[in-house]
Structure 1
Amino acid sequence: MTPEDPEEIPLLLRPGGSAPRGRHLFLAAFAASLGSLSFGFALGYSSPAIPSLRRSAAPAPRLDDSTASWFGAVLTLGAAAGGVLGGWLVDRAGRKLSLMLCTAPFVAGFSLITAAKDVWMLLGGRLLTGLACGVSSLVAPVYISEIAYPAIRGLLGAFVQLMVVTGILFAYLAGWVLEWHWLAVLGCGPPTLMLLLMWCMPETPRFLLSQHKLLEARSAMCFLWGSEADWEEPPIGAEYQGFQLTLLRHPGIYKPFIIGISLMAFQQLSGINAIMFYTETIFEEAKFKNSNLASVIVGAIQVLFTGIAALIMDRAGRRLLLILSGMVMVFSTSAFGTYFKLTQSGSGNSSHVNLSASVSAEPMYAGVGLAWLAVGSVCLFIAGFALGWGPIPWLLMSEIFPLHIKGMATGVCVLTNWLMAFLVTKEFSTLMEALRPCGTFWLASGFCICSVLFTWFCVPETKGKTLEQITAHFEGR
C-alpha cells in the first residue's frame, strides 16, 4: 500500500456470514463506555459544584463570578488539548491502552479538586479532567466501532452518548446530597472501574491486524465475537500508514474529513449551549423554584431520548435521525426566539435578561403561559438534540475514516468540537448584545436549517455497512 493508493485491510466480518454471538463484546463496549460516563460526570460536575463553592467558607477555596466562569470553561480547553493527544495516542499506543491511560488524568484531576486549597488548584483539576474528557471522547467511540459488527454498531455507538448524558444526570443527582469535595471523590469511581475492566479486555482486532499481530487478532476475535465469527486475514504487504498531506487529494480522505469536521461544527452551532444557559431561569419562571430540579429534568430528558436513539439507530439509520433531529431543533429554537421577542419587546438591548420583569406587565396567567411555552421549547430542543445531533456526530466520526488515518482525523474532529464549544460559549454574551436574545436563537435556528441541508446532500448512510464498505464508498469503489 502506498500513500498514492490508500487501501483498507479486508473485511473482518463478511456481511453474509453468520452473526457473531460473543457476549464478551457487550462487556468490552460497557468497559470502554465507562470513559464516556466519566466524561459526562466531569461535564455535569460544575453545575452543582459552583453553587457549593460559592458558599464555601475559609480555608476552602471560594468562587466569585469571574472564577466561576473559568471553572466551567477551562474544561473545554483541556478537552481540546485532549483531542490532539488522543489522536496521537490512539494510533501509537492502541485503542485499549489509550483508554486505560486516560484514567490517570481523570483521577488526578478529581483528586486535585478534592485537595484544593485555592482557586488555582481547582482550575488545575478541571484542566486535567478536561484533558481526560478529550481523550475519552475520541477513543471510546473508535474502540467500540472497531469491535462492533454492522448490525449493532449503531446501538453500541449511541450507547457512548447515552453514558455521557447518564454521567451528567448522575452528577446532578449526586449534587443534591454531596458538597463539591465529596462530589469530586465520587468522580474518581467510574474511571477506576474502567481501568480494572479494560485490563481484562482485548485490543480491537482491526488495530491488531494493522500491526500484523495475527495471532492476537484471532484471539481477540474469538473473545469478542465467538468462535463462529466469519473473518479473514490481511494479505501480505498490507501495512499501517500514518497520515500524509498528499492523502488529502483522494476522495476517500477529504470527503470524510469535510463531513466529520462539519458535523462537529454544526453540533455546537445548533444552540445547545445557549439553551442550557437559560434552562434554570426558564424553569424558575414557570414556578420551578428549585434549580436543581430543572437540571435533573433536563438530564432525564437527555437520557430518555438518547436511549431511544440507541434502540432505533440501526433500523432508522443515521441520516434519517439527523434530519428529524435537526427539524425538531429548527422548530424549538424558532419558538424559543419567539418567546424572547414576545417577552422582551420594548426592553433594552441587553444580554442580561430579566424574565420576571419582562412579563410583569402582563396578567399573571399570560406570564406563566409564556414561561411554559419556553419550558416546552427547551424540553423539545433537548429531546430533538438527544435523538440525533447529540450521539450521531460522534458515531459517524468513528465510522467514516479509514484505519490508517483514523487517529489523526478523529483528533481533528474532537479538536474542532471542543474549540467550537469554547468559542460559542465565550462569544455568546457578545451575540446577545448585538442580536438580542430573540435574534441569537433565530440565528441558531438558521444553523440548524443548514445542518439539515448538509445532512441531506452530503452525509451518506452507514447503517448495516462494515467499516471497510464505508471506506470503499468514499473511494468510489
Structure 2
Amino acid sequence: MVNKVYKVNSSTDNKTGSKHNQILMSIVVCMPILAYGTAMGWISPNKSLLMGEYSPSNAPLSEEDVSWMASIMFIFAPIAVFVYGVAADKFGRKNALLCASVPIAIGWAVKLICTHPIALIGARALIGFGSGGGFVVCPLYVKEISEDSIRGMTGTFVIFSQTAGNLIVFVLGDLLPFNTVLWILLAIPLVHFCILLRLPETPSFLIKCGKNQETAKVLAWLRSLPENDKTISEEVDRLIIEQTTSEPKFSPKLLFSDKTSVKAFWVALIVNLTREFCGCIAVLVYASHIFAEAGKDPDTSIALSPNKQSILLAAVQIIGSFLACQLVDRAGRKPLLAVTSVVAGFSMCLLGVWFYLQSVGVFMPGWVPITALCVCIFADASGLQPLPFVIMTEMFNFQLRGTVATLIMAISLGTDFALLKLFAPLNKWIGYHSTFWMFSIICLSNVFYLIFCVPETKMRSLEDIYADLEGKKRRKKGEDVVETNHV
C-alpha cells in the first residue's frame, strides 16, 4: 500500500529533494488544532445570541452557562493528554491522531442536534477531549516527519492552525446562520479523518515497529528523493541507532531520574506556562465581550461592532502566525520569543492603563484598546504561542518526547481551564486594568527567564542543548568545572 500511495520516481533528475510533502503533511496533521481554534473562538461571536431573547436554546443561557462552556474544554483536555500520550507511544502517532478527530466531530454533531445548555457544555467537553489529544500528538507527528532545516517552521503550524481556526469561526459567525456554521465546523474533523487515512505513520515510529523498508519509502516520499538515495539510507540508520538506545514509552520515572532531563523539563514547562499566563487565550475567548466593555462610552468607541473588532483581532493573529513560520528558522527561538514577550507585555500594560483611565472618567480614544489588543495578539501569535511547542519537542529525545509532551500539555490545558473560569470573576473583583497589568508583569518577567535560563535549540543537537544546561549549572561550582565541561 505504501508503494502505491507514496511512490517516488527514482528516475527523476532532481536529486536535491523537496520539502513540499513535509509542509503539506504538517498542515493536514494539524487540522485537529484548527478544529480546536474554531471551538475556542466559537463562543465570542455567539455569546450575545445564546444569551439573548432569540437564543437557539430553549431559554437564554446564563453567564454561568457561558463560563462553563468556555472552560469545560480544559477540564477534559488534560485527561485526554494522558490517554493520547500513552496511545501515541503504543499504537502510533497516526492512529492516535485519527482517534482525536472522532470526539471533535461528535461534539459538533451534538451541538447541531440539541442546543440545551447541558448539551452544549457536554459537546464542548467532547471537543476538548479530542483537542487535548491533538495538542499532544500533533507536535510529535510534525517534528518526526520534518527535517532539521524546517522543523522550526513546521513546528509553528500547530499555533498557525489554531489562529486560522479563530479567524474562520469569527468570520463565519458574523456572516452565516447559527446552524450553517455548525455544519461547516463539523466538516473539518471529518475531512481530516478521511485524508489522514491515506497518509503514512511517522518514520520514527515505523522504525520502532521494525519496518525499516517501509520507513525508507516514507522518508523518500517526505524528502522527495529516490528510495535508494544516500541521504535516505543515512537517515534510516540514524533512526535505527536512536531506537536501539531509546525506545519510547510513557515513563515520568525515567524522565525524572536524570538531572539534566529534569532541568530541561522545567525549562520547557515554564516557557509553556508563560504562554498560558500571558492572557491572550482569555482575550480571544472573550474578545467580543472585552470590546463591548471598551465601547460602552460612545465618545471613546469606534464604529466597528464587537464582532467585527474580533475578526480584526483574529486576522492580526493569523498574520503573526504566518510571520512566525517565516522567522523561526532564521531568527532563532530565544531572540524571537524574548522580543514578542516584551511587545506583548507593554501592550497588555497599555490596555490596563486604558481601562483604568476609563474607570476614573479620563478620556482616551477608542482605537487605543483595539490597537493594544492587536499588537499583543500579533506578538503572541508570532512568538509566545508557537515557539514553546518547538522548544518542547527539540529539548528531548524520541524516548522522552511523548512523556514530556503529555505532562506539559496536561498542565498547560489545566491552567487554561483555571484561567478561563476565573477571568470573569477576577475582572469583577480587581477590574480589567489590574488583570491586564498582571498579564503584563508575567510577559516582561519571562524575558529575564529566557535570557538566563533557556538554551537556544535552533539547528542544535541534544548534546549541545544539554551542554548549555549543564554548563549553567556548573558555573556556579567554579571555573575549573566550566573548563572541564567544554573539553
The TM tier, using the shorter chain, reads 0.7 to 0.9
Instruction: Please give the residue correspondences for 1:428-443 in structure 2 after superposition, counting only pairs within 5 Å.
Output: 428-432=423-427, 435-443=430-438
- In 2, the alpha carbon distance for the partners of 1:19 and 1:451 equals 41
Q: Does 1:45 align with 2:60?
A: no
Tell me which residue corresponds to 2:28: 31
Instruction: Please give the residue correspondences for 1:14-163 in structure 2 after superposition, counting only pairs within 5 Å.
Output: 20-21=17-18, 23-55=20-52, 56=54, 60=58, 62-116=60-114, 118-163=116-161
1:113 Cα shift? 0.9
Closer, same or farther: CA 203–64 of 1 in aligned 2, 3 Å: same
Tell me which residue corresponds to 1:200: 198
1:467 Cα shift? 6.5
Match of 2:275 among 247, 262, 267: 267
**Unaligned 5+ residue runs, structure 1?**
1-17, 346-357, 360-366
Runs ≥4 residues deviating over 6 A: none
Identity %, equivalent residues: 25
Confirm or deny: 8 A CA contact 1:106 1:132 kept in the other structure.
Answer: yes
- Whose relative contact order is higher, 1 or 2, with alpha carbons under 8 Å and at least 6 apart? 1
Letter in 2 for 1:29: S
Confirm or deny: 8 A CA contact 2:282 2:423 kept in the other structure.
Answer: yes
Closer, same or farther: CA 463–65 of 1 in aligned 2, 3 Å: same
Letter in 2 for 1:78: F
Q: Does 1:465 align with 2:483?
A: no
Instruction: Name the SS of the counterpart of 1:339 in structure 2.
Output: helix
- In 2, the alpha carbon distance for the partners of 1:167 and 1:384 equals 18
Letter in 1 for 2:277: L
Confirm or deny: 8 A CA contact 1:87 1:138 kept in the other structure.
Answer: yes
Match of 1:316 among 323, 331, 336: 331
Q: Does 1:281 align with 2:293?
A: yes
Confirm or deny: 8 A CA contact 2:19 2:222 kept in the other structure.
Answer: yes
Confirm or deny: 8 A CA contact 1:29 1:144 kept in the other structure.
Answer: yes
TM-score w.r.t. the length of structure 2 is 0.84
Tell me which residue corresponds to 2:482: none
Tell me which residue corresponds to 2:370: 375
Match of 1:408 among 403, 409, 432: 403
1:110-136 residue CA offsets vs partner (Å, 9 max, x unmatched)? 001110152221111111011111111
Confirm or deny: 8 A CA contact 2:332 2:458 kept in the other structure.
Answer: yes
CA RMSD of aligned residues (A): 2.5
Closer, same or farther: CA 177–240 of 1 in aligned 2, 3 Å: same
Confirm or deny: 8 A CA contact 1:28 1:198 kept in the other structure.
Answer: no
**Unaligned 5+ residue runs, structure 2?**
1-14, 472-484
1:380 Cα shift? 1.5
- In 1, the alpha carbon distance for the partners of 2:113 and 2:429 equals 42
Match of 1:256 among 264, 267, 270: 264
Letter in 1 for 2:276: Q
Closer, same or farther: CA 116–78 of 1 in aligned 2, 3 Å: same
- In 1, the alpha carbon distance for the partners of 2:174 and 2:156 equals 28
Confirm or deny: 8 A CA contact 2:274 2:442 kept in the other structure.
Answer: yes
1:26 Cα shift? 2.3
Number of equivalences: 440
TM-score w.r.t. the length of structure 1 is 0.85
1:170 Cα shift? 0.4
Tell me which residue corresponds to 1:336: 351
Letter in 1 for 2:359: Q
